[in-house]
């Protein structure tokens, strides 16, 4: 089974976190699901550098103060995912959506009403326990 290593940003601003909705995907189980933004780590790239690059490419946001939060291992039907997740900050609050359908800023207690990608659920749970 294919294995993919990715990074995700839990971007905090004024005690709320950026949640983004994926676009349509060939895999129905992640199509239009909510997630924390991020992407794939390229060869010879650190997770932190990959995250800064991905957030700039996908959302045109500058992030800083990266702090490791959690690594999620999740088996989807067609691939296995390892997702290294970092808490970070941004002074910008209006992302430019280049790959996502929508965004919202939510406190952890308000995140449960979104239809999350399965791999992102442990991150939501972690944020709820920290809040």
Percent of the chain's residues with pLDDT above 90: 97
DSSP 8-64: EEEEEETTEEEEEE----SSTTTTT-EE--EEEPPTT--HHHHHHHHHHHHH----E
> What are the residue ranges spanned by the domains of the chain?
2-130
Tens digit of each residue's pLDDT (9 = 90 or more) over 44-91: 999 999 999 999 999 999 999 999 999 999 999 999 999 999 999 999
Query: What kind and span of H or E run contains 127?
Result: helix 121-130
- Whole-angstrom CA distances from 6 to 16, 52, 93, 106, 112 are 23, 12, 23, 23, 23
What pLDDT is attached to residue 131? 85
Query: What kind and span of H or E run contains 77?
Result: none
What pLDDT is attached to residue 107? 97
**What span, in angstroms and rounded, lies between the C-alpha atoms of 68 and 51?**
12
**What span, in angstroms and rounded, lies between the C-alpha atoms of 8 and 55?**
9
**Reported pTM:** 0.95
Q: For the chain, give the longest Cα–Cα distance.
A: 40
Closest CA to 100 of 30, 47, 3: 30
Is CATH 3.90.79.10 what the domain over 2-130 is classified as, yes or no? Answer: yes
**What span, in angstroms and rounded, lies between the C-alpha atoms of 117 and 31?**
8
């Amino acid at each position: 089974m294919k294995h993919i290593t990715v990074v995700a940003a839990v971007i905090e601003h004024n005690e709320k976190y950026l949640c983004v909705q994926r676009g349509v995907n060939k895999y129905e189980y992640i199509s239009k699901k909510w997630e924390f933004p991020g992407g794939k780590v390229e060869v010879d790239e650190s997770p932190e550098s990959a995250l800064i690059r991905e957030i700039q490419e996908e959302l045109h946001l500058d992030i800083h103060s990266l702090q490791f939060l959690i690594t999620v291992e999740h088996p989807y039907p067609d691939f296995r995912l390892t997702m290294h997740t970092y808490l970070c900050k941004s002074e910008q609050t209006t992302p430019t959506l280049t790959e996502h359908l929508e965004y919202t800023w939510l406190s952890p207690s308000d995140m449960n009403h979104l239809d999350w990608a399965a791999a992102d659920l442990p991150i939501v749970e972690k944020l709820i326990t920290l809040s």
